[in-house]
Amino acid sequence: MRKFIKKILYYFLNVVEQRKEVILSGFSRGLQNVTFEGKNAVPDGCNFSGKIKIGYATTLGYRNLLGGTISIGKYCQLGVDVALHATNHPISYMTTYINQNLFQGDLKQLKEENTITIGHDVWIGHGVIIVGNVTIGNGAILAAGSVITKDVAPYSIVAGIPAKEVRKRFSETIIQEIETLQWWDKSEQELEKIKPLFFKDFSNRHSIYE
């Protein structure tokens, strides 16, 4: 009976809410720290702290954790249990301990503050962790379980701990053509005109216009 009541309460408390084209599924914290550009989705259990910008149509995964100064571009997808840590504890001082229980939290000023910048159309797989001062290029793919500690080049696939480049997704010519096209900045009407490009397999092509 208690389990049944708990399920009923959970169902009614976890009501999907929509704010200015942003879908919020509930049970997330720190939403006041986020600037959304619209058509975003935030599922259960996400946690935000710091100063965070999430680009148009970018969607998050369950239990994402974003802390610090973070900028995510348009049309990105984050998997489940992704963590972005732009801040870090001090490592060259007496202690790494910076909470209220020591000197009333005065040591918080020693916290390392970095910036994480993620480009457009980036796929971040399940369980990826990004730490430190990192820039992720447009179109990159971060494989599930990777730990990202260094910059990731545009349209590259990285994997591992720490993550290393596996390969580029496309030829340099195609990468340059997509970067020049900047489809993520186009209106829905403009995207409709170039829709056929999105259905092409670029595996054995030298140009997106072939």
Average pLDDT over the chain reads: 91
The single residue of 89, 120, 126, 206 carrying the catalytic annotation is 89
Position 4 pLDDT exceeds 70: no
Nearest 10 degrees: CA dihedral of 15, 127, 143, 51?
70
Position 16 pLDDT exceeds 90: no
Q: How confident is the model at residue 83 (pLDDT cuts 50, 70, 90)?
A: very high
The predicted model scores a pTM of: 0.89
Of the chain, the percentage scoring pLDDT greater than 70 comes to: 90
Q: How confident is the model at residue 27 (pLDDT cuts 50, 70, 90)?
A: confident
Of the chain, the percentage scoring pLDDT greater than 90 comes to: 83
Position 142 pLDDT exceeds 60: yes
Position 207 pLDDT exceeds 50: yes
For residues 94 and 49, the answer to whether their CB atoms sit within 8 Å is no
Mean pLDDT of 179-188: 97
For residues 77 and 123, the answer to whether their CB atoms sit within 8 Å is yes
Higher pLDDT, 56 or 3: 56
Mean pLDDT of 153-169: 97
Return the percent helix, strand and coil in the chain, to nearest 5. Answer: 20, 30, 45
Residue 9's pLDDT is what?
46
Task: Tell me how far the alpha carbon of residue 103 is from its chain's centroid.
Answer: 34
Nearest 10 degrees: CA dihedral of 49, 50, 55, 60?
-20
For the stretch 49-74, pLDDT in tens is: 999 999 999 999 999 999 999 999 99
Distance CA 77, CA 86 (A): 19
Domains of the chain, earliest start first: 29-169 (2.160.10.10), 172-210 (no CATH)
Whether residue 85 lies in the annotated active site: no
Q: How confident is the model at residue 10 (pLDDT cuts 50, 70, 90)?
A: very low
Contacts of 208 (CB under 8 A, 6+ apart): 174, 177, 178, 181, 197, 200, 202
Nearest alpha carbon to residue 39 among 14, 61, 20, 15: 20
Q: What six digits make up the tokens of 150? A: 């260094």
Position 14 pLDDT exceeds 90: no
